[in-house]
Amino acid sequence: MFLDSCRLALRRLPLTLLAATMLTTVAAALTRAETVGPVTDEIGVVKIPKGQPILIGGLLVLSGPDLGLGVDASRGAEIAFDDHKNMLVGHPLKYLPEDGGCSVEGGQTGATRIAANKQIVGVIGTSCSSEARGGAPILWNAGMPQALTSATAPALTAPDRPAGLQGIARFVYNDLNAAAAAVKYAQSKGYKSVATMHDGSLYAEQLANVFATQWKAAGGTIVAAEAISPSDTDLRPVLTRIGTAKPDLLFAPIFVGASGYLVRQAKEIPTMAKVPVLGTDAVLAPAFLDAAGDAAVGYRLTGIDSDPKLMGPKYGDLVAKYKAKFGEDPISGFHGNGYDAALAMMTAIEKVAKTDADGTTYIGRKALRDALMATKDLDGMTGKLTCDKYGDCGASYFAVFEYTSGDTSTYKIGTNPKKVYP
């Protein structure tokens, strides 16, 4: 009778809601409180025998032109684990990162691999908002909370977000704040009219839209709003349309590959050749110089201001450890966020783990999720971190950077690109 009722209800739903409803119905039917050893938890308990590792997964972009976002954050997480001597509540700690590809499909694939390992207790990442949109519902159903490192789309922590996103705690800024920083910068330059461009990704589209709303509220004008595909290689028609609107600025929060085409091809359009372009830290990576070459010179982007005076008191030590461990300076702006995500996850595990007399440890899944979401006054690398009730925990400051050379060998945050605002 139960299954017959479910089938009848599902037939009455619009097809667009069918898959989501089936997942929710199945998850609700399967959810049962579980008692293992000394721990009872509403959605399950992970048992770690004495001597066995505690497993923490990672879902980050680790390949392709945007890999700098994920590799940089993952390296920060590794340093946080090193600072704990790769031990947690008496167990070795093992980190298992998966590639999310900075896409919905990649997030789904990576999250499915993670969820198949029932011993993983929580996940560092995602890097990209599209990865989170694809992967978070799968991890939610597996009972694995996420500590995001650079996925900034407002929808991920919105008050009306669906249940599948409610296992997310974000240890990076929300793009509502990133848009405000871009608006403030544009005002400081005296710009009046702005054009926007996005690539259809959750991150880029939401940030462009939020910027437009805030820019208009501040008295500015949006003279063009264009969209491209992440795989587009000829942006000249779009740039020509934008040029006819004569903007003072083009705000284009898109990723490395498309940004490379943008800055090179804009110089071929007479009406766009001298229009400044403002991007975001999605292109704070050496790969952008590979893609753009000399056309990168003068390109500006908003990003985290990693001035040691603004960061946590141990940030300088993090940079030194990064260079010692990986043989180079940080390759993007999210190593501190990766460290903080890992620190918050370990702190939450320490709060809820129970170890019996035999040395076996038990971690309640819902207890861990709740503890992560309740992070308060955590002394992180990016500042003091406290999560609000929707999972926003970031404490970032913003700056504007400008590329000074197209030579990849000169890439170094603070030099190329250099900080130009404030």
Q: What's the residue count for the chain?
A: 422
Nearest to 158 by CA among 373, 397, 396, 391: 391
The tokens describing 344, both together, are 């918050």
Cα separation, 98 vs 295, in Å, equals 33
Closest CA to 367 of 232, 167, 103, 219: 167
Contact 345, 106 (CB under 8 A): no
Assess contact for 161 and 133: CB atoms under 8 A: no
Mean pLDDT by 10 residues, the chain (422 residues): 36 34 40 88 97 98 96 98 98 98 98 98 98 98 98 97 97 96 98 98 97 98 97 97 98 97 97 98 96 97 88 91 97 97 98 97 98 97 95 91 97 96 94
Q: Which two tokens stand for residue 14?
A: 């619009």
Instruction: Tell me if 363 sits within 8 A of 159, measured CB to CB.
Output: no
Q: Per the structure block, which two tokens stand in for 191?
A: 């710009």
pTM: 0.89
CA-CA-CA-CA torsion sign (12, 17, 22, 28): negative
Among the listed residues 274, 282, 272, the one whose alpha carbon sits nearest the alpha carbon of residue 252: 282
Please give the helix or strand (H or E) that residue 109 lies within, else none: helix 104-115
Place of tokens 């501040």: 218
pLDDT value of residue 51: 97
In the chain, how long is the greatest CA-to-CA distance? Answer: 75
Residue 307 is predicted with a pLDDT of 83
Domains and CATH numbers, the chain: 34-173+313-395 (3.40.50.2300), 176-306+399-421 (3.40.50.2300)
DSSP letter string, 199-218? -SSHHHHHHHHHHHHHHHHT
Q: Which two tokens stand for residue 127?
A: 């890097």
Q: For 195, phi and psi rounded to 5 degrees?
A: -105, 150
Q: Give pLDDT, residue 308.
A: 79
Q: Give the DSSP letter string of 304-328.
A: E---TTTS-TTHHHHHHHHHHHHSS
**Axis crossing angle, helix 129-141 with helix 202-217, rounded to the nearest 10:** 120
The whole-number pLDDT of residue 290 equals 96
Phi, psi of 168 (to 5 degrees): -95, 130
